[in-house]
Structure 1
Amino acid sequence: MLGTVLAGNRGDGDRPALVLHLHPVTAMRFKAAAVALALLTTTAGCTDKPDAAPDKVAYATGFGAVGRDAFIWVARDKGYFAEARIEVDIQKGTGNVPNLTMLKANEAQFAAMDFAGAELLAGQRKFTDWRAVAAIHQQTLVSIMTTADTGITKPTDLKGRTVATATGSVSEVLFPAYAKLAGLDPASVTIQGTQPTALNGLMAQRRVDAISTFLLSRKALETTSKKSVTVLPYSDYLKNLYGNVIVTQAGLIGSDRDLVQRFTTAAPKGLRYTLDHPQEAAEILNRAEPTAAIPAAVGEIEAMKPYAEPLGRLDQKRVTDGLAELQAGGLSADQVADFSFCSGTPTAGCS
């Protein structure tokens, strides 16, 4: 039995009021249901935030607007960031030091950069307040590239030759370690520093014997030189180094972990779509940045396919072994990466 209904005075006239006296057990059940409903309503509001304004963040690309960075425009165009309640201002980055400077100054909250180069900078204690949260390339994409007419087919063929590379780039910084592991005395090679945009022209004109740059540029060098190109990847010897990664401010992980998780879910979705639809991804990039030529972007996206899986994954042992290869100032893996976002447990973005 639910309870007893009694008539009582309401205090505003002679009309009686109905008072429901519930059975004690029934009353407890009603109270429990009311509490559960209140908790459900509160929890749903905190987790889903259907009416919450999107978080606004700035993201710096690895370098300019090229195929390897197209995925971030794709993630925005396809609505993956909108689904994650994030509004992204995409800035064209200009390399590790400028991108790390942007993070330090809070001009960007996320950025792409070459992981090995950033690790070396952290080892020198120049930039330390950052952490990698997702991988873009599972191996370093730095390489030696040369046209077939030079006769260079292996690292030891570089002895006595001139190699051009971007001044201060990770290609230049990593060359001594690569050369030693490949059985080549790095002092026997002349390194010529130059602007990144000048590399293909120098090689095409045979003003140098080889260039050190990202292997994704192979198609562009073939187009410029009108010759077949030989590629000697650094990853043949530096096996534990990642290529580009997504990094964020260490402080942001502590202050707004949910934002970082949402970002590292949305961005790899854009990478997945880009790898599966290179032509469309290149067209999306070109619409946003008309100077990004579609054929070149498609070439880079196609070239990076073998190096992107497993999507987003950062492995703690590989990072530790990579730091040992770099001899990066005694750093530990957790000083350069947070493995709780893309460590191998599948999420909506990382695989």
Structure 2
Amino acid sequence: MNRPLLLATLGASVLAVPALAQTHINFALDWRFEGPSAPYFLAIDNGHLEAEGLSAEISAGQGSLDAIPKVATGAYPMGFADMASLIKFIDQNPDAPVTGVMVLYDKPAFAIVGRKSLGIEEPADLEGRTLGAPPPDGAWAQFPVFAEAQGLDVDSITIEPVGFPTREPSLAEGNVDAVTGFSFTSYLNTVRLGIDPEDMTVLLMADYGLDLYGNVVIVNTDFAEANPEAVTGFLRALAHGVRDAAADPAAGVAAIASRNPALDQDLEVERLEIALRDNILTDWVMENGLGNIDADRFASSLDQIAMTYEFNTEPDPARFFTDAFLPDDGSLSME
């Protein structure tokens, strides 16, 4: 066979070989498609997942207690959930194949959101006033830790149970002086009801003694054991997505809007900017990189959880989080 014919034959053979299939990951969010979910969609749209040989389908959720079982059962290999909820789930289901692999919210969004005109400017102002709190609310679950850290006289605070749909309207109408909730949710919802942003007070519990971590990427450990490179690749792509969202929040929200045309883009840009500033790109993350934990802080957070939750067994930090899948190539740096 002469050389040109040989090369042509080899070329045809190469073209005949099917492209290697991408690893597909179904990812379970904890909540709706809102501004803070932009990094996932930017990881897709900007080609970061494709560069890792991955594709992904991002699914909305109904809270951490919805996302965690989805991953633990293997229905979804990866997801996003609140660290405290994950810790309690694993304590109650010690054989569940699920763990945290990347912290995205270095500071949780748990907050007290109040109004200056109603006398709320600092934690001590809650004494003698009325606090609206939905009983299932994650921020309300952490309120005893916050109150103890601030030395509040809880007996002097009137707790008004409110539903999620009536929480911010109650604050806007002045029926309560403050509410528990996610910082970027309760703040924006109240402002949308006509309250002047200058009248709003947001007390992020992480700034007042709460050592808990916020939301983390979780993984089914059976999937991770079989596909460690895929898990690391997903985390690296997500880190690039975070960086892209920080560089252009409007583009991040536009990526969400392409999946949800009814989205209020201006509102979600503001929500994303708040989450990036207060929860994701914290001073610790800017110094140490995205995704990992501080061992001493994590131990303290377990002690704080034990203040309001009785562990079935002695908590083992290694059971709740591992850094084994975090990329070590510098891609987690947010500088």
Alpha carbons of structure 1 residues 130 and 194: separation in structure 2 relative to 1, 3 Å: farther
1:73 corresponds in structure 2 to: 41
Match of 1:115 among 79, 83, 87: 83
Partner letter of residue 59 of structure 2?
A: Q
2:298 corresponds in structure 1 to: 319
Deviations 1:57-95 (A, max 9, x none): 211223111111121111111121122122211110111
Q: Cα offset for 1:184? A: 1.3
Q: Cα offset for 1:122? A: 3.0
**Would you say the 8 A contact 1:112–1:244 is kept in 2?**
yes
**Would you say the 8 A contact 2:35–2:269 is kept in 1?**
yes
Alpha carbons of structure 1 residues 237 and 129: separation in structure 2 relative to 1, 3 Å: farther
Residue 252 (str. 1) matches residue 235 (str. 2): no
1:268 corresponds in structure 2 to: 239
| Bigger radius of gyration among the two | 1
Deviations 1:133-172 (A, max 9, x none): 1121211221100122110122222224332234322212
Q: Which moved more, 1:133-142 or 1:194-203?
A: 194-203
Q: Cα offset for 1:173? A: 1.1
**Would you say the 8 A contact 1:313–1:350 is kept in 2?**
no
Counterparts of residues 4-153 of structure 1 (less than 5 Å): 51-125=19-93, 128-153=96-121
- In the alignment, structure 1 segments of 5+ residues that lack a partner are 1-49
Match of 2:255 among 284, 300, 305: 284
Residue 340 (str. 1) matches residue 324 (str. 2): yes
**Aligned partners of 1:186 and 1:105: how far apart in 2?**
39
Task: State the secondary structure of the residue aligned to 1:288.
Answer: coil
Q: Cα offset for 1:350? A: 5.5
Partner letter of residue 300 of structure 2?
A: D
Alpha carbons of structure 1 residues 187 and 59: separation in structure 2 relative to 1, 3 Å: farther
Residue 221 (str. 1) matches residue 199 (str. 2): no
**Aligned partners of 1:198 and 1:71: how far apart in 2?**
30
Task: State the secondary structure of the residue aligned to 2:70.
Answer: helix
Structure 1 stretches of 4+ moved >6 Å:
none
Alpha carbons of structure 1 residues 94 and 117: separation in structure 2 relative to 1, 3 Å: same
Alpha carbons of structure 1 residues 247 and 83: separation in structure 2 relative to 1, 3 Å: same
Task: State the secondary structure of the residue aligned to 1:139.
Answer: coil
Q: Which moved more, 1:329-338 or 1:314-323?
A: 314-323
* Structure with more relative contact order (C-alpha pairs < 8 Å, separation 6 or more): 2
**Aligned partners of 1:289 and 1:127: how far apart in 2?**
37
**Aligned partners of 1:173 and 1:96: how far apart in 2?**
14
TM-score (norm 1): 0.78
Q: Cα offset for 1:292? A: 2.5
Deviations 1:274-320 (A, max 9, x none): 11111111111111112331111111121123332325321241322
Task: State the secondary structure of the residue aligned to 1:68.
Answer: helix
**Would you say the 8 A contact 1:115–1:243 is kept in 2?**
yes
Aligned residues: 302
**Aligned partners of 2:302 and 2:42: how far apart in 1?**
32
Alpha carbons of structure 1 residues 253 and 187: separation in structure 2 relative to 1, 3 Å: farther
**Aligned partners of 2:23 and 2:97: how far apart in 1?**
21
Q: Which moved more, 1:219-228 or 1:95-104?
A: 219-228
Alpha carbons of structure 1 residues 124 and 286: separation in structure 2 relative to 1, 3 Å: same
- In the alignment, structure 2 segments of 5+ residues that lack a partner are 1-17
Match of 1:201 among 156, 169, 172: 169
Supply the RMSD in Å over aligned alpha carbons. 2.4
Task: State the secondary structure of the residue aligned to 1:225.
Answer: coil
1:37 corresponds in structure 2 to: none
**Aligned partners of 1:182 and 1:57: how far apart in 2?**
43
TM-score (norm 2): 0.82
